[in-house]
Structure 1
Amino acid sequence: MTDIDTCIHCNLPIPPADLVVDEIDGKELRFCCHGCQGVYRIINGAGLDNFYQRRDWSEKGVPTGVFDAEFDEKILAGHVIQHGENSAEISLIIEGIRCASCVWLLEKLVEKEPGVDAIRVNYGTHRAQIKFNPLQTSPSVIFSTVSRLGYLPHPFTSGAAQQAAAREQRSLLIRFGTAAFLSMQLMGFSFALYGGYFHGIDPGVRQIIQYFAAAVTTPVVFYSGWPFLAGAWRSVKNRAPSMDLLITMGVLTAYSYSLYALIAGGEVYFDTAAMIITLILLGRLFEGSARNHSISGIDKLLQLAPESANRLEGEEIHSVASASLSPGDLILVRPGERIPVDSRIASGETELDESTITGEPMPVLRQQGDTVSAGTL
């Protein structure tokens, strides 16, 4: 497969029937679909085409259905936090973020949209917080803007965040499972070769075992290790060496030398190439699991805060969503209720259970003028 057969945006091979050719800035560029063509034109037209040199994607393609996505304004309205007539905020999970350059691109282009005041994207959680003016734009317009860039947005809920993390973890687990299973088979062949080296082995039997070892190692290197190979190629292409390049050099050196030794009749080291990939994938699996566990812990802590609050308006008490409260609002918290938002006590005193924040099991006395944290009881 040559570069000319690869989509300039998503890096996927282009089926001949789907080829889209476009001339941009005097260059003939090839795309796999009109969606990728549109994304490239948006990025290039905004003067951010250096995104393609900066990005470091470990996977090819864009999220499935990203260019056909439609967004219901009524559904999205339920996820908007209103801060006033001219200010609102919405949180979303964005699928397809693969490197820091994706974050940079999203923040640059979405912030240019009319009505968008600010956007912050968290690379670790793929969560974005967008502040906008509801009189100038709407959530569906913002979501469509993100979708046109080749990323698939979802309204943020704890379930959506966990599902996105689970999909990423599942892909990593499949690659690691494949590598671990084949590496175990490879170890059996390697023990036989090591035993034959010290105690003698028939040359014909040794060569057969070496061929089996080569067959088992190949999918470990080129399937399980593909994210490292792709990352290394991009780092070389962008003249920015990364850890993936170091891993790839070690793996391909052991693998290539072993292929040469297989033909020349020397000793092979296929087990070295396979174990490097397997162990590093295991490390990334643990890292992803720890990150998801910490995110889950934070979400559980945030869920302690009640979704509704009793807002005082003169002599009347109105039950409102906690997210709709603004600085300066006066709320009533009855005995046994949790504090809905970080606040300051305007009048009265109480004992609070702050164990969720401090770990201290004993109640703490809070009086007028003291600050209290959301979720405390």
Structure 2
Amino acid sequence: MRARFAVSIGGRIGSALLQAGIFALLARALGLDGFGVFSLALAMSGFSLSLLDLGMGNRVLRGLRDNREKGALATYSILRAVLAAVLPVTAAIVAGSLEEPVWIAACAAAYAIGESTGDVAVGIRQGRKSSVTAMTILLVRRAATIAPLVLSNSEQAAATAMLIAAVVGITSYAAVAAANLARPVSLNRLMRENLSLIASGGATNLSQLDTAIVASSLGTAGAGYYGAGMRLFNPINLGINTLLQVLIPELASAPSQSQRKQHFLRARKLVLLASIVTVGASAFAPALVTFLYGPEFSGAAPIAIAVFVSAAISGLAQLHMSWFYAIGVPRIVPIGMWASVALGLSLIWLLSQNAGISGAAIGFVAMHLLLAVSIIAPCEVAIRKIDG
């Protein structure tokens, strides 16, 4: 597991640096309002894709060991192909009705499809414990996307970069999935088999509506600030996310509960340390936002600080969620997650109405605190029962 983690963390660091560059160059090319439209379209497209992921993004990490698993992947592939055709058109229609730039919305939707689909390709290879191939796919996707933005930081280059991300992400998935397909199962069966994953993932998907909520309160400029800060979330959390992609297959294949617990406790020490460091690094968040996006985005400082703090909280929650993803999700967890996100989104809306972007930042942290409690508490109870 250590070798796979070393390979994965190296690849993830390179990917995070490239992705930070991609978003920084996109923000500069599109401007504050344009980047606000991009962030809103990306969030709504991501919400739709996550909602219709049907738990497969996490299921593939267990490994595609038999025809039942491969049949589920085949059904998922058909659904994803339909979404790839429909989502950009839908985004363009909605943007046109709101008198926002149609091309930005359509390209952002295409970018979301490429990212989401490409990440499943990475997950398939991680589930097979082939971290070198997984990280190669990830880095090629990032390098191909940033290339046109480096050559020309213009609106045309921004559109080209987003479309390249779509093509490369979908192509990488097709190449990886082709060798892991069987006769498709019915959509109803897929949903029944993944019900616990869908229920728990649905709450996380719902949280992606935060950008839309901020946009409704603060307009596209507010969404631009919020989106600029939010784009830091995944790069900050890359170490923990990488550890989980390596850890879940190990937990799922552990021969006994005691060995599974040992793997988990070792990982928890690393995540606790990473979370403490991340909270401390939040002091540098305002300077980081200005450096990456330019002075026009200095107003994103409050949400950037909140993202650092929330990433630390989320890392601990994700670690405990990995235990459930490996062995099964009890009903109480998704119920608690849905309630936490609903309350958190309400706080984001209420506080942004009264305190602007700073209020939205406070609500964002509160949502992640509530989510963490809803996951960590039942997980700790389950783990302590192993020792009787």
The alignment's TM-score, normalised by the length of structure 2, stands at 0.29
Highest RCO, 1 vs 2 (Cα 8 Å, sep ≥ 6): 2
Larger radius of gyration: 1
Name the structure with the higher strand share. 1
Name the structure with the higher helix share. 2
